[in-house]
Chains A and B, each alone.
Chain A
Amino acid sequence: MECSNVKAPVVVIGIGNPCRGDDSVGRIVVRRIKRRNLPFLRAIEHEGEGTSLMELWRGASHVIVVDAVSSGSVTGTIHRFDALLQSLPRQLFSVSTHGFGLVEAVELARALKQLPARLVIFGIEGTRFKVGTKPSVGIQEAVAYVIDRVLEEARSV
């Protein structure tokens, strides 16, 4: 986990396992954003365990999460969810091996009335999740696009 700008108003969290191909895409997005050293956001790489995700966004008003999804769509397809307006589709985020991951963290925070004032989730479609594999070539374009969208969301705060 890496943090910067601890008091920044926007928290951007990239979830994934760096050793499992496309599962690392959320972390790739966040790592590249972090390199820009932007003062208005805090960029964090995370393994995806749900309760510690809730801790990360506790007290934050604006949170953006980037994670890999698997719905059968074309590699690199981008899904955007406003967690304040809708529940996350559990089947999309079943890539994680965690019994308590992102979807559970969002829904538990909702049940406990602990959701941030704004929580946007970008899901990037992956197809290659085996241990020891590199991310798919086709996912790079999506990475660049999601970085722009995340920064657009962050700047709008």
Chain B
Amino acid sequence: MKTRTIRVNYLARVEGQGGLYVKIRGNTVEDVKLNIFEPPRFFEAFLRGRSCEEAPDITSRICGICPVAYQMSAVHAIEDALGLKVDGQLRALRRLAYCGEWIQSHTLHVYMLHAPDFLGYPDGIQMARDHQGIVQRGLKLKKTGNEIMRVLGGREVHPINVRIGGFYKAPSKASLRALSEQLKWAREAALETIRWVASMPFPDFEQDFVFVALRHENEYPFNEGRIVSSRGLDIGVHDFEQHFTEEQISYSTALHSALEGNGGYLVGPLARYNLNFGRLSPVAQEAARGAGLRPVCRNPFQSIVVRSIEILQACDEALRLIDQYELPESPVIEVRLKAGTGYGCTEAPRGILYHRYRFDEHGTILDAKIIPPTSQNQKAIENDLKQFVSRNVALPEEELRGRCEQVVRNYDPCISCSTHFLKLQIDRG
């Protein structure tokens, strides 16, 4: 029987280094491997012996695209151990920082990394030659997110203003108000983005995902909430490790995650949207309906639409937060170190990011655990690939290879984050 191999040695338009291997015997997909060969990062080991107060800045170095997510999961975990509750305007500022990160991270992926797949371009640069105005809009939209991060975090990449108990410095009301006009433009640009991506051609490819995301009582989730799934899981962050396990896979430097009783699961925009549709702002819900989406979307190719809806949500939320902002009396609440173990889980642009820290009475970290979204999505990516190739096995080699890469990019994988983590090979013998 004829065997084919599809091999992509280095996946393009993803963050970090990885590849793909697909083995097809006859018309049956025998094996799919997402190879993550970016070297291990060892951050959990680096953290041992350091002060818990350093954890937000050390872990933010894991990723240049989602540093706020690392800072947020770190501070929430440590504050959990210390029995601290950051509320009021300081909590609002943390949500605002997350709005900035979602806007810049999602916009980069939607416009420069993912859209070329749907419009038939090999990359965003060649797309820009034919769609200058659209790409200009994307760059300006992304910049809006970066500006929020710069004002709140001191700089656009690896912001340095977040600390246990709050911030080093709270922004003035005027500095935030100065972002409003740009954000009002960005909200309209996000609506145009949704209309643009909704018109793209999507393959009929619904998957029976187990969605996992945070769910807050009344907010679209950023920093807080219970961990819920589309199969009835509903747990506090403390119980994460009792339900989710990690295992080593020989072909990947990223650990694979599994949900007890389900195996693979999906985190990220699609999961958040499906589990929290009712918590989107009215304008985002209306835009989703206008884009032809129902409250539940199971087609991973439409993640580009959902990501765009989340850009709108983040712009809308940022405007609301800025409008209601009052300078807090102090940028930080009192922090008293003590021994303890703390758990944090927040919604990074690519999905839930779990941190656990144990530290002594001086705050020295004894051990740490970090589970990023991309490593949690590996099984779902491999399963999508298996299903997609099985249904499209007759496609010519080059087209199939390109579509496989697109399947991976549906997830906006951040390989740099997941290593502890992508090359595509299709093996047809």
A residues contacting B by CB (< 8 A) are: 1, 19, 47-52, 54-55, 94, 97-100, 104, 107-108, 110-112, 130-132
Question: Is there contact, CB below 8 Å, between A51 and B142?
Answer: yes
Q: Mask for B22-49, Cβ within 8 A of A = 1, else 0?
A: 0000000000000000110110001000
Q: Is B340 an interface residue (CB 8 A)?
A: no
Question: Is there contact, CB below 8 Å, between A98 and B124?
Answer: no
B1-27 interface with A by 8 A CB criterion: 10, 12-17
Question: Is there contact, CB below 8 Å, between A51 and B143?
Answer: yes
Question: Is there contact, CB below 8 Å, between B157 and A49?
Answer: yes
Question: Is there contact, CB below 8 Å, between B128 and A112?
Answer: yes
Contact of A49 among B38, B64, B125, B129 (CB under 8 A): B64
Residue of A nearest to B14 (CB): A99
* A-B contact list, 5 entries, CB within 8 Å: A49-B65, A97-B416, A98-B64, A99-B113, A104-B125
Tell me the minimal C-beta distance from A1 to chain B in angstroms.
Answer: 5
Question: Is there contact, CB below 8 Å, between A47 and B157?
Answer: yes
Of B132-140, B216-224, B378-386, the one touching chain A = B132-140
Q: Is B155 an interface residue (CB 8 A)?
A: yes
Contact of A97 among B12, B15, B125, B132 (CB under 8 A): B15
| Measured CA separation A120–B138 after assembly (Å) | 26
Question: Is there contact, CB below 8 Å, between A111 and B113?
Answer: no
Q: Name the B residues within 8 Å of A110 (CB-CB).
A: 125
Q: Name the B residues within 8 Å of A107 (CB-CB).
A: 125
What 9 A-B pairs are tightest by C-beta distance, nearest first?
Answer: A111-B128, A107-B125, A97-B416, A47-B157, A97-B16, A111-B129, A99-B15, A108-B125, A47-B64
Residue of A nearest to B156 (CB): A52
Known: A97-B16, A99-B15, A104-B112. A54 touches B39 (CB 8 A): no
| Measured CA separation A137–B39 after assembly (Å) | 22
How large, as a class, is the contact surface on chain B?
35 or more
Contact of A19 among B61, B128, B132 (CB under 8 A): B61
Tell me the minimal C-beta distance from B77 to chain A in angstroms.
Answer: 22
Known: A52-B146, A100-B108, A112-B136. A131 touches B41 (CB 8 A): yes
With A47-B157, A51-B108 given, name 11 new contacts (CB 8 A). Answer: A1-B155, A49-B157, A52-B157, A98-B64, A99-B15, A99-B16, A99-B108, A104-B123, A108-B112, A108-B128, A111-B126
Q: Name the B residues within 8 Å of A94 (CB-CB).
A: 10
Question: Is there contact, CB below 8 Å, between B113 and A100?
Answer: yes
Known: A47-B64, A100-B112, A104-B124. A131 touches B42 (CB 8 A): yes
Known: A49-B64, A51-B108, A98-B15. A1 touches B124 (CB 8 A): no
Q: Name the B residues within 8 Å of A97 (CB-CB).
A: 15-17, 38, 415-416
Q: Name the B residues within 8 Å of A131 (CB-CB).
A: 39, 41-42
Q: Name the B residues within 8 Å of A111 (CB-CB).
A: 125-126, 128-129, 132, 135
Q: Is B158 an interface residue (CB 8 A)?
A: yes
Q: Name the A residues within 8 Å of B135 (CB-CB).
A: 108, 111-112
Q: Name the A residues within 8 Å of B146 (CB-CB).
A: 52, 55
B103-127 interface with A by 8 A CB criterion: 108, 112-113, 123-126
Residue of B nearest to A107 (CB): B125
Tell me the minimal C-beta distance from B65 to chain A in angstroms.
Answer: 8
Residue of A nearest to B125 (CB): A107
Known: A19-B61, A104-B124, A131-B39. A47 touches B158 (CB 8 A): yes
Tell me the minimal C-beta distance from B9 to chain A in angstroms.
Answer: 12
Question: Is there contact, CB below 8 Å, between A54 and B158?
Answer: no
Q: Name the B residues within 8 Å of A19 (CB-CB).
A: 61
Q: Name the B residues within 8 Å of A52 (CB-CB).
A: 146, 156-157
| Measured CA separation A110–B124 after assembly (Å) | 12
